């Protein structure tokens, strides 16, 4: 058996942990630069506030209904997510962190009353982290996803659902549109409608060999999973990324080269940090720069830069990125966004050069390890390249950011007795 544990309205719930006065009240969290609504509490959803609605269009309505508004506070959300995942590991030694707010747990060899075990998981997370979750338990990943959906949508489940018998999962499959099945998007669901497949139950009863001819092997696996046959294994280690991108819209439009280069320096530093975390090296980087597509004379340029050798050296990546972005820059333009992608990655073990090409010097690895260790211990940004600048006027807008309750000493909440 498997369980999928999913945080309810994760970002909004993270904000409510240290603001218990907001429990039971509408809360929304905004995207980068306070542009769109990316998370809504249950109460905010009941007001008709949609996902990804532009903030400027609904700000008046939010204030009218006294909705609590927050800018994205990713250090807080990441830390709360880590606490949730650490707590969940006590319930199973085999886990897969599927996303920042979802984790699969495998219960191989366990024989428990599944509803009681699910309630124990849910109660423990509320007691230890104050995070509300839904728990779905079933024999396959796809069914666990369905069980989790049932846990959140059926009031009688009270946050926990176990689809541990065919009659149970078939009952819910008949009431679930096929586009709500894990891995079945809108485009594929429209194609399936041509075969008379409208619900998850229709898909479970379909001939997998026939549908595979019009799709791929994944549809066959999904059908098997919907019938309780596990075909998608647990990934205890996340797969290594083939590309790493870091892009941001500027807090204000930039017309001068220096602040654009400062921003790209920060983006390159973040990307290089992720590169080292997965023990990879980069052979080529992709840079782009553009103005707003909603304004006249839209300008957009990009380029690929080959590295002299496979590297994870932040300084070298930044140096070439700054030179490349200077080539894309045009005076008189008001730029809205820039980004960098590390696009040709190889394992760190393959970084040795050949007879005619020098590889990365050994001391670079030691220098980068010191950089990462200091920032991990004392907080991101403790050590940074001077090319990022100090007065970062280009930083994204975050007018409604909550304190860094768990990652900054000065923001620790005080308990008054």
CA distances from 38 to 120, 266, 392 (A): 30, 24, 25
Average pLDDT over residues 284-310: 94
Helix, coil or strand: residue 96: strand
pLDDT tens per residue across span 37-46: 999 999 999 9
**Beta-carbon-side half-sphere exposure of residue 356 (alpha carbons within 13 Å):** 0
pLDDT at residue number 294 = 85
Cα→Cα distances 215→93, 187, 218, 226, 358, Å = 35, 11, 8, 17, 46
* Average pLDDT value for residue range 327-344: 95
pLDDT at position 311 is 95
Predicted confidence (pLDDT) at residue 353 exceeds the cutoff of 60: no
Residues 169-181, mean pLDDT to the nearest whole number: 96
What are the pLDDT digits (tens) for 217-248? 889 999 999 999 999 998 877 788 999 999 98
Banded pLDDT at 355 (limits 50, 70, 90): low
Angle at 187 between CA 186 and CA 192, to 5 degrees: 90
Which one is predicted more confidently, 393 or 80? 80
What distance lies between CA 170 and its chain's CA centroid? 31
Element spanning 242, H or E: none
**For 15-32, how does the pLDDT look when each residue is reduced to its tens digit (9 = 90+)?**
999 999 999 999 999 998
Q: What is the pLDDT of residue 29?
A: 96
CA atoms of 206 and 173, how far apart (whole Å):
13
For the segment 286-293, the average pLDDT, to the nearest whole number, is: 95
Angle, vertex CA 390, rays to CA 385 and CA 396, nearest 5: 100
Q: What's the pLDDT tens digit per position in 388-401? A: 888 777 777 888 99
Whole-angstrom distance, CA of residue 286 vs CA of residue 243: 10
């Amino acid at each position: 058996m498997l369980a999928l544990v999913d945080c309810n309205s994760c970002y909004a719930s993270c904000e409510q942990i240290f603001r218990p006065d907001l429990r039971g009240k509408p809360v929304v969290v905004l995207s980068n630069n306070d542009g769109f609504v990316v998370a809504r509490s249950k109460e905010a959803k009941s007001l008709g506030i949609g996902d990804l609605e532009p903030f400027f269009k609904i700000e008046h309505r939010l204030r009218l209904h006294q909705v609590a508004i927050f800018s994205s506070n990713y250090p807080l959300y990441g830390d709360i997510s880590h606490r949730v995942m650490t707590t969940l590991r006590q319930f199973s030694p085999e886990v897969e962190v599927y996303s920042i707010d979802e984790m699969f747990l495998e219960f191989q060899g366990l024989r428990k009353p599944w509803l009681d075990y699910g309630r124990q998981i849910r109660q423990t997370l509320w007691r230890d982290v104050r995070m509300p979750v839904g728990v779905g338990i079933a024999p396959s990943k796809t069914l666990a996803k369905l069980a989790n959906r049932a846990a959140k949508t059926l009031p009688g489940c009270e946050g926990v659902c176990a689809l541990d018998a065919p009659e149970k999962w078939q009952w819910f499959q008949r009431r679930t549109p096929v586009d709500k099945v894990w891995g079945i998007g809108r485009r594929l669901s429209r194609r399936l409608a041509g075969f008379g497949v409208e619900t998850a139950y229709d898909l479970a009863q379909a001939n997998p060999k026939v549908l595979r001819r019009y799709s791929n092997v994944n549809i066959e696996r999904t059908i098997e999973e919907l019938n309780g046959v596990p075909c998608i294994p647990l990934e205890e280690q996340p797969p290594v990324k083939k590309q790493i991108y870091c892009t941001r819209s500027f807090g204000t439009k930039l017309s001068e080269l220096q602040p654009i280069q400062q921003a790209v320096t920060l983006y390159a530093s973040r990307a290089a940090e992720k590169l080292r975390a997965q023990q990879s090296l980069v052979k080529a980087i992709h840079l782009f720069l553009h103005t707003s597509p909603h304004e006249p004379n839209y300008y957009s340029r990009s380029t690929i830069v080959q590295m002299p050798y496979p590297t994870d050296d932040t300084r070298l990546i930044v140096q070439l990125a700054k030179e490349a972005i200077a080539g894309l820059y045009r005076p008189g333009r008001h730029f809205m966004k820039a980004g960098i992608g590390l696009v040709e990655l190889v394992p760190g073990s393959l970084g040795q050069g050949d007879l005619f090409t020098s590889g990365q010097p050994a001391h670079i690895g030691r220098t980068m390890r010191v950089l990462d260790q200091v920032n991990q211990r004392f907080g991101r940004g403790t050590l940074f390249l001077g090319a990022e600048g100090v007065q970062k006027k280009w930083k994204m807008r975050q007018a409604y950011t909550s304190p860094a309750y768990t990652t900054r000493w000065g923001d620790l909440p005080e308990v008054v007795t």
